[in-house]
Structure 1
Amino acid sequence: MPHLRDLTEFYDPNLYLPINGKQYKVLAPPKKKADELRLLIVDKTVTLQQERDEFEALLGPALDEMVADNVPDPVITHAGRTALLHFGGNAKLGAANWHLSQLGELAAGVLPANAKAAASQTTKQAGNRTQRRRR
């Protein structure tokens, strides 16, 4: 039987979030808490306040460091949601949120605004063509 090294010698289950050149360490939760997080991330009835309470508790000492370092609240929220998805889902889900969550905001805000502007421009152009044909 092969001799296995102690897992803690080479495996770190914690999450490290780089913000403004600093690494914030979020401790991996115990099994029971991780099971609760797995249910939380798929629960459509969770309110924003419940989500915030959960991620602030999960961030633990990292939250205190972020506050002391004057990290803006939206960045803390982003870090907290990433931690929820990392520990409640998996590392790839957390990383996807970390790198891509702004896409949802873009799709909800910027893209519709651009689409409306484009639609307005197209409508104006079509109106101009109709007026030219009538002349």
Structure 2
Amino acid sequence: MAKLKALDEFFDDTLTLPVSGSEYTIPAPDAETGLLCQRLMQAGVAAAAGQQTDLSDLADLDDDEETDLYKRCLGPVYDALVADKVSWPKIKHCGVTAFLWIAADLDTAMRFWDAGGVPEAMAPDRAASEAAASTTRSRGSTSGTSRSRQARTSRGKSS
């Protein structure tokens, strides 16, 4: 029987951001933060498409919730950035980059980072955007939310 290589031998679950001459390495988030970010991403995608979902209330964060999200996504790096007197716009850029890394993938986070936070500069083309959206939806569906709920409620019901 084939044996899998140890995950730690090839899988890097950190994100390193170069800011003002320093490098800050963000550790992988805990599962709760990861799932929250994926739910927020799904809510944002649905809101952008004009769809109402049971996640719609997550799409709009107030200032405190936004700051809390950045703290959760950046982990100990948030405090390091503040201690190093990094400006708020740069901390916010780091936070959104980390959010995209957690909610989507490294490529999406890198495109946002390299675009300087300007969404128009990061949108490649419509076909790639649609492919990314379908990828995001399929990743989110593995969390066992809506499909499992539908499956549970339909079990035991006779037609």
TM-score by length of 1: 0.68
Number of residue pairs matched by the alignment = 106
Between 40-49 and 67-76, the greater mean CA deviation after superposition: 40-49
Give, in angstroms, the shift of residue 104 of structure 1. 4.6
For residue 94 of structure 1, the aligned residue among 109, 128, 148 is 109
For residue 57 of structure 1, the aligned residue among 64, 72, 80 is 72
Q: Deviations over 1:38-93 (max 9, x none)?
A: 11232432234312211112212111211222211110110001111110122122
Going from structure 1 to structure 2, the CA distance change for 1:16 and 1:38 (only over 3 Å counts) comes to same
TM-score by length of 2: 0.59
Between 72-81 and 91-100, the greater mean CA deviation after superposition: 91-100
Where structure 2 has 5 or more consecutive residues not aligned to the other structure, the ranges are: 45-57, 122-159
Partner Cα separation in structure 2 for residue 83 and residue 25 of structure 1: 10
8 Å contact from structure 2 (residues 29, 72) kept in 1: no
Task: Give the letter aligned to residue 3 of structure 1.
Answer: K
Give, in angstroms, the shift of residue 5 of structure 1. 2.1
Task: Give the letter aligned to residue 102 of structure 2.
Answer: F
Task: Give the letter aligned to residue 100 of structure 1.
Answer: A
Q: Deviations over 1:2-38 (max 9, x none)?
A: 2322111221111111112221111111233211111
